[in-house]
Structure 1
Amino acid sequence: MTTSLSAGARIAPETRRYAPRHRWVVLSVGVAAQASFSVMFSGIPVTGVVMRSGYHLSIGALGLVLGCLGLGVAVSDIAWGLLTDRFGDRRVLLTGLVSTGALLALMAVAVTPAERPGTAALAGCLLAAGALGGSVNGASGRAVMTWFADGERGLAMSIRQTAIPVGGAVGVALLPALASSYGFRAAYAAPAVFCLITAVAVWHWLRGPGPETASPKPASPETASGPEAVPGACRPAPAVSPLRRRDVWRVALAGSLLTVPQIAVLTFTAVFLHDARDTGTALAAAAVLVAQLGGGVARIWTGRRSDRSGDRRTPIRLIGTLTALAMAGAAVLTHAPAPLTVAALALGGLLANSWHGLAYTEIAVMAGADRAGTALGLVGTTIFAAAFVTPLLVPVVLAASSWQGVWAFAATAPLLAVPLTPGRRRSP
């Protein structure tokens, strides 16, 4: 049954109890779900030095194992998006969070270095963890898009996307310390607890309209931020599937290129500083924390600005240019005093963390409310495919050149994203 939720419309009895302000509860749950996954996704790679030693991995094997997290998300995200559009946000989030938490708990028991699981078993578990945890990307994003009107979506989606660097910062601060002091049993158990607690929050609070209540009438920016900004005030889905639209693919592929420097900084800063500069993990953790937390603040700022300007594509292009310049600076400063090198890497990582809310909002709005899950699954697939490929390519580039070549490679990718991003289009 279709129920219009534009201003003055009658609300169906089953949704009447949810006032428009419930959208902030939905956003909070979406943030918690995304952050829980990010604790694992961002925190485990930063344990790379301890993992390489504990599991007796070469740097190539380490790249493969850590890359499997991104590969798991990449191979499953479109499927999760389609399932979200079919069955709703709540069911998919519950399924993904509970199964991810259970898998991590199993790893804490049976896949630690003490059990000597082997590289293939470790890689397979991280692949499965990425595949199951990736459910939060499209499902939490679609829940937010359903509840917020267009004049607030940039801010709302950017806040949701900020959960990635914030959750990642928690993982970066917590998991390496746990792995070093208490072993990987504790490092896997901690994100398992986060996922299971968040599943309880989803079960309790993520209620309200699903795809059947989406309004066929688009909301205007003038009414989007007032009391009329009610759930379902989304534009209808275009007739063409987002998977068959060139402009949607261009945004998704630009996102994958912008992901390269983000993953390079996140995954290899600690290894670079340890191997090339003979420094401890504290400096690397500080650089990644600055990149994650600063990127989170930048996401909220750019999202709010895009709501006011109605333009999300120009900022994406600008961020691509600035990220390329920062990573090129890191390449030039590879052999400079360590604080300068770390500052350049932190700045490049910060910028590479700042565009996500813009891209996710833009691609969901382009697809329409009824197919937002599919579109978000597509961009998740391209982004996490890059997250898988980047840790595999970095050791190849390092073997062929040097760490300077690695950071130059990380500068080239975002530069290519600039012309790939479609030209400016004002939001309705």
Structure 2
Amino acid sequence: MTALVTPGTAVRRFGPRHRWTVLAVGVGAQASFAAMFSGLPVTGVLLRADYGLTTGALGLVLGCLGLGVAASDLVWGMLTDRFGDRNILLTGLSATGVLLAAMAAAATPGAGAGTAALAACLFAAGALGGSVNGASGRAVMTWFADDRRGLAMSIRQTAIPAGGAVGVAVLPPIAGTWGFGAAYATLAAFCLLSVGAVARWLHEPDRAAGTVAPTAAGPSPLRRPDVWRVVLAAALLTVPQMAVLSFTAVFLHDARGAGGAVAAGVVLVAQIGGGAARIWSGRRTDRGADRRTFMRAIGVLTAVAMAGAAVLADAPLPLTAAALAAGGLLANAWHGVAYTEAAVLAGPDRAGAALGLAGTTIFSAAFVTPLALPVLLDATSWPAVWAAAALAPLLAVPLTPRAARRA
């Protein structure tokens, strides 16, 4: 958007160095949402007990977070291209914080909330919080040149495992000690703190001053087969990530008799290790490695790791936990590269829509996975669940376009 400036008013200009401040704000915004998206599933055993849910109902409730993002992400991305990342982040994060505060007051087990109410609230939280995906990503695309976008986008995407790690670390003890009202209030505080940071430091670059060069808008990402192949492959790579995130705690509790600390440790390793892998992969692809080749390689490696988790499902607990942690780590490593590839194919002025499309496919997979795996579990066994989580990334390999010549 172009701001209206009255005659004689000083215009504050932001030079190229401000891009790192913008990136930091984007990381904070993404992390505040990730703390909810990744942290709540790890409270799955408590959610199931306190709200009186079945395992299938638990999958539905947790899946509604992803469904909310999937239903809204493309719309948020298109709105971001129209109104700017700052305006969308302020709107989405504020609304998410208010909703979580309302949940702390009226959507707790003590308030009589049941499956339907909890599912509706988490759907709305996902729909509102999903605004951070396209908006913060477009800010990165706008402020950074192509030879730094992979690293910058990967750092932004690292906010997901980093924020998730915070959620994993703090939400289970808070919910277990003070209840889910306190857990929702904590998440609301994270979102509202991010609102303050966005209001203070996130601004559009000054094109007139030469901070970035204007670009012509290309065709819509919705009409680009190569963009569709990248985002659909990313959706398949999401399946093992969500399998580990959503059901590690339930599997270790029900099948192995392990406490919540073991599950939290597995997810923390996957999140923190995955975050480090994202930064490495972004820097590696900026230095010449092809993004699509990297996605294909990650698909193969993730499939191998999750197949190992299936084979070791009944092995000694340290081996089982290590296999799940490795699979979760690899399944967290590709996000920055995939988002960058989709956005670069679309171009900076269409980046919001491309990132929104990626979010739609990825979070659709995040919704379907927690619903489908309990059905598979009822019909088969836990090894079959982890084997299914291995098949999805393997299918992503041929779907990902082959390497393109880099300019």
Q: Work out whether 1:35 is the aligned partner of 2:31.
A: yes
Following the alignment from structure 1 to structure 2, what is the Cα–Cα distance between the partners of residues 214 and 232? 8
Following the alignment from structure 1 to structure 2, what is the Cα–Cα distance between the partners of residues 14 and 367? 35
1:10-409 equivalences under 5 Å are 17-209=13-205, 213=207, 231-233=211-213, 236-238=216-218, 240-309=219-288, 311-409=290-388
Following the alignment from structure 1 to structure 2, what is the Cα–Cα distance between the partners of residues 16 and 249? 39
Following the alignment from structure 1 to structure 2, what is the Cα–Cα distance between the partners of residues 234 and 331? 50
How far 1:118 sits from its partner (Å)?
1.5
Segments of structure 1 that go 5 or more residues without pairing to the other structure are: 3-12, 216-229
Following the alignment from structure 1 to structure 2, what is the Cα–Cα distance between the partners of residues 274 and 204? 44
* TM-score normalised per structure 2: 0.96
Following the alignment from structure 1 to structure 2, what is the Cα–Cα distance between the partners of residues 19 and 375? 26
Deviations 1:3-36 (A, max 9, x none): xxxxxxxxxx987721110000000000000000
Q: 2:390 aligns with which of 389, 398, 411?
A: 411
Q: Are the equivalent residues in 2 in contact too, given 1:150–1:234 (CA < 8 A)?
A: no
- SS of the aligned residue for 1:309 comes to coil
Following the alignment from structure 2 to structure 1, what is the Cα–Cα distance between the partners of residues 292 and 301? 15
Following the alignment from structure 1 to structure 2, what is the Cα–Cα distance between the partners of residues 320 and 244? 25
Following the alignment from structure 1 to structure 2, what is the Cα–Cα distance between the partners of residues 300 and 113? 39
Q: Are the equivalent residues in 1 in contact too, given 2:43–2:172 (CA < 8 A)?
A: yes
How far 1:392 sits from its partner (Å)?
0.3
Q: 1:262 to 1:168 in 2, by over 3 A?
A: same
* TM-score normalised per structure 1: 0.91
Q: Are the equivalent residues in 2 in contact too, given 1:35–1:167 (CA < 8 A)?
A: yes
- SS of the aligned residue for 2:287 comes to helix
- SS of the aligned residue for 1:123 comes to helix
Q: Are the equivalent residues in 2 in contact too, given 1:234–1:369 (CA < 8 A)?
A: no
Deviations 1:396-425 (A, max 9, x none): 110111000000000000000000001112
Following the alignment from structure 1 to structure 2, what is the Cα–Cα distance between the partners of residues 310 and 346? 26
Question: In angstroms, what is the RMSD of aligned CA positions?
Answer: 1.6
Following the alignment from structure 1 to structure 2, what is the Cα–Cα distance between the partners of residues 351 and 302? 11
Q: 1:286 to 1:23 in 2, by over 3 A?
A: same
Following the alignment from structure 1 to structure 2, what is the Cα–Cα distance between the partners of residues 107 and 139? 25
Deviations 1:258-282 (A, max 9, x none): 0000000001000000000011000
How far 1:244 sits from its partner (Å)?
1.1
Deviations 1:355-382 (A, max 9, x none): 0000000100000111100000000000
Q: Are the equivalent residues in 2 in contact too, given 1:364–1:375 (CA < 8 A)?
A: yes
Segments of structure 2 that go 5 or more residues without pairing to the other structure are: 3-8
Q: 1:177 to 1:425 in 2, by over 3 A?
A: same
Q: Are the equivalent residues in 2 in contact too, given 1:288–1:349 (CA < 8 A)?
A: yes
Identity of aligned residues (%): 71
Letter in 2 for 1:125: C
Q: Are the equivalent residues in 2 in contact too, given 1:146–1:231 (CA < 8 A)?
A: no
Following the alignment from structure 2 to structure 1, what is the Cα–Cα distance between the partners of residues 228 and 350? 14
Letter in 2 for 1:91: N
How far 1:237 sits from its partner (Å)?
3.1
How far 1:311 sits from its partner (Å)?
1.5
